[in-house]
Amino acid sequence: MTEGFNLTAKEAKDRHVPVMLDRCLELLAPGIEKPGAVVIDGTLGMGGHSEAMLQRFPDLTVVGIDRDLQAHRLAGERLAAFGDRFKPVHAVYDEIPRVLDELGLDGVDGVLFDLGVSSMQLDERERGFAYSYDAPLDMRMDSTEELTAAVVVNEYDEADLRRIIRTWGEEKFAGRIAGAIVKAREEKPLTTTGELVKVIQSAVPVGAQRKGGHPAKRTFQALRIEVNHELDALERAVPAAIDALNVGGRLVAMSYHSLEDKLVKRAITARATSSAPKGFPVELEEHKPELKVLTRGAEPPTEVEIEENSRAASAKLRAAEKIKSTRK
């Protein structure tokens, strides 16, 4: 058992710096500062964003969704003082409709997504998310699921490995890396992150390793996305979040790589665009946009935020307000 798995709520709070916290609260505020408001924190993690919302908005109820049971333990301890204003739910963020139904809610006044792997998951060595630690090839956000990175690495055929690494990791050396993995596992199964890193390093040209960050970064991203079906879930989650919003409610989403950001942008743009046919003389009520975009493109963190939290460096924030209900 590692130190990470023995974390207390206090240690988690001291170590965890929520990304772009002030900007998130500023954007959500018009929807969630009213009495009786409800917000969904779709990526609860260690509870940093949820704690800040509960502190700043005294009449707010937070529904905290996370698939990671360890996150629920830490966040639950951290937020226990807020009583029934905090409602934790073990689920994936694309299950918002089920969560609302189980809680008896017709809609919510805000949804926050802080996407990707959490600080806790990266720091807990035995979870196998980080290429900088030698650990079992796991990478599951939900430890009750069966698929692990070890299964992907050792059982997927070369063509599927190449596709995953190229598509989910945007890795230009995907073919070389997939081939090297297949060759290595013929001798013995790859069971640790350290073994996989060595295989990747052997496949990536030395010149390329001198620039662009760690040579295993993109492959680890690809494996994590595959194991947790992250982009499939996200593609369903953003429309589900928009549907869940009451008029005046707001969606705030932070992503950390281009694939996440493209999905968020596409979902928001589709609902913020008039559906009136080209050349139609009058925009009817049913053609009017459902959302108003609140950010100009994807907002980056400030230099001060990056200095305080290096993991914020790649963050991109998008936000929108629900301006028309489509509920029947």
**Annotated binding-site residue? 121:** yes
- Residue 48 labelled as part of a binding site: yes
Tokens coding 73 = 């333990």
Question: Which 3 state secondary structure label does DSSP give 61?
Answer: strand
Distance CA 320, CA 269 (A): 9
Rounded distance, CA 198 to CA 222, Å? 17
Tell how strand 245-255 and strand 291-293 pair up.
unpaired
Q: Is 114 annotated as a binding residue?
A: yes
Q: Which two tokens stand for residue 312?
A: 């914020």
The secondary structure of 257-322 as a DSSP string is SHHHHHHHHHHHHHHSS--PPTT-SS--GGGS-SEEE-SSSPBPPPHHHHHH-GGGTT-EEEEEEE
209 annotated as ligand-binding = no
CA distance 8 to 270: 42
Instruction: Report the C-alpha gap between 161 and 308 in whole angstroms.
Output: 36
**Contacts within 8 Å (CB) and 24+ apart, 266-272:** 267/235, 267/238, 267/239, 267/242, 268/238, 268/242, 268/293, 268/318, 268/320, 269/293, 271/239, 271/242, 271/320, 272/320
Residue type at 294?
L
47 is in an annotated binding site: yes
72 annotated to a ligand binding site: no
Q: Are strands 86-90 and 108-114 parallel, antiparallel or unpaired?
A: unpaired
Contact in structure between 154 and 185 (CB atoms under 8 Å)? yes
Alpha-carbon span 75 to 184, nearest angstrom: 40
Asked if residue 49 belongs to a known ligand binding site, the reply is: yes
Annotated binding-site residue numbers for S-adenosyl-L-methionine: 47-49, 66, 93, 114, 121
Annotated binding-site residue numbers: 47-49, 66, 93, 114, 121
